[in-house]
Amino acid sequence: MLVLGAAAVTVAIGMARSVSAPPSPVTPGVTPTVTVADAAVYVHVDGAVAHPGLYRLDPDARVVDAVAAAGGFTDVADRSAVNLARLVSDGEQLLVPEPGAAPPAGAAPGAGDRPGVGADGRIGLNTADAAALDTLPRVGPALAERIIAWREENGRFTSVEDLLGVSGIGEKMLEALRDRVRV
């Protein structure tokens, strides 16, 4: 009976490890197949993390999940410079800086600190709050709320063209927003 109990514990530990293991980085040169049922976001985690690389995460993943997938912070990471609660976006590069490190070239000052605003200054349609959306040209508080309502009713934006489904956004407005937003 003792032998069976030890074997069960070993199996349970092995199962716990396989369930709690972080996602593997995506292998360069290998093109993964993604179907609608297999929705995921790809995030490039770089900087002061144990295993920088490209990670495939759940669509509702947050920065804390991306950092965990990359093996966690290193001893030199500036943890206070990273908003662990922020949702990540598909195609995002998440840079974990060291204390006193300069922001990457081309990054908008403070852009990464606002919810839904990437380092490039573009607004993430799936993560932006009303205040960030309100900074877009011709988007006021009412339209920002309609964009958020569309997202809550229909799920994530899969393309910028999905904005056409939001009441008050037509082809002309879409063209004015296209280079200022991302999914």
- pLDDT higher than 90, residue 20: no
- pLDDT higher than 60, residue 97: yes
The mean pLDDT value for 44-55 works out to 94
Q: What is the pLDDT of residue 107?
A: 42
Rounded to 5 degrees, φ, ψ at 171 are -55, -45
Count how many Cα atoms sit within 13 Å of the Cα of residue 55 in the half-sphere of its side chain. 29
Q: Average model confidence (pLDDT) for the chain?
A: 77
Q: What is the pLDDT of residue 10?
A: 40
Strands 181-182 and 41-47: unpaired
Tell which CATH architecture fits domain 107-183: Orthogonal Bundle (1.10)
81: pLDDT confidence band, cut at 50, 70 and 90?
confident
Q: What is the pLDDT of residue 38?
A: 57
Question: Based on the number of CB atoms within 10 Å of its own CB, is 134 exposed (0-12), middle (13-18) or buried (19 or more)?
Answer: middle
46: pLDDT confidence band, cut at 50, 70 and 90?
very high
